A = this chain, B = another copy of it.
Amino acid sequence: MSDRRSIRLFTEHDLDLGLSFALSEAQAHYAIHVMRLRAGDALRIFNGRHGEWSAQLEVVTKKSCQLRLTAQSRPQPVEPDVWLAFAPLKRVRIDLVAEKATELGASVLWPVFTQHTNAERINLDRLRATVMEAAEQCDRLTLPDVREPRALADVMTQWPHDRRLFVLDETGGGQPIAAALSKVASQPCGFLVGPEGGFAQSELDRLAQLPFVTRIGLGPRILRAETAALAALVTWQSLVGDWR
Instruction: Tell me if A26 is interfacial: C-beta within 8 Å of chain B.
Output: no
Q: Contact at B176–A139, with CB atoms within 8 Å?
A: no
A166 to chain B minimum Cβ distance, whole angstroms, is 13
When the two chains form their complex, are residues B139 and A222 in contact, meaning their CB atoms are under 8 A apart?
Answer: yes
Q: Which of chain B's residues have a CB closer than 8 A to the CB of A177? A: 238, 243
Q: Please state the number of chain copies in the assembly.
A: 2
| Assembly CA distance A244 to B181 (angstroms) | 12
Closest chain B CB from A199 CB (angstroms):
15
Q: Which of B105, B137, B224, B231 contacts A234 (CB 8 A)?
A: B231
Interface string of A153-188 (1 = CB under 8 A from B): 000000000000000000000001111000000000
Shortest C-beta distance, A106 to chain B (Å), equals 11
B105, B140, B219, B244: the one contacting A237 at CB < 8 Å is B219
Distance between A186 CB and nearest chain B CB, rounded to angstroms: 15
Contact call A137/B222, Cβ cutoff below 8 A: yes
**At the interface, yes or no: A60 with Cβ under 8 Å from chain B?**
no
Chain B residues within 8 Å of A221, by CB = 103-105, 138-140
Once the chains are docked, how many angstroms separate the CA of A220 from the CA of B237?
A: 11
Minimum distance in angstroms from A237 CB to a CB of chain B? 6
Kindly list chain B residues whose C-beta atoms are within 8 Å of the C-beta of A234. Answer: 230-231, 234-235, 238
Q: Given A219-B243, A223-B138, A243-B218, do A178 and B103 touch, yes or no (CB 8 Å)?
A: no
B224 engages A103 (CB within 8 Å): yes
How distant is the Cα of A241 from the Cα of B235 in the complex, in angstroms? 13
Are B103 and A238 interface neighbours, CB within 8 A? no
Cβ–Cβ contact A223 & B103, under 8 A = yes
Q: Is A35 an interface residue (CB 8 A)?
A: no
Would you mind naming 8 contact pairs between A and B with Cβ atoms under 8 Å apart? A138-B221, A138-B223, A138-B224, A139-B220, A140-B221, A219-B241, A231-B237, A239-B239
Pick the 9 closest A-B CB pairs, nearest first: A219-B243, A234-B234, A178-B238, A138-B221, A231-B234, A235-B238, A139-B222, A138-B222, A176-B244
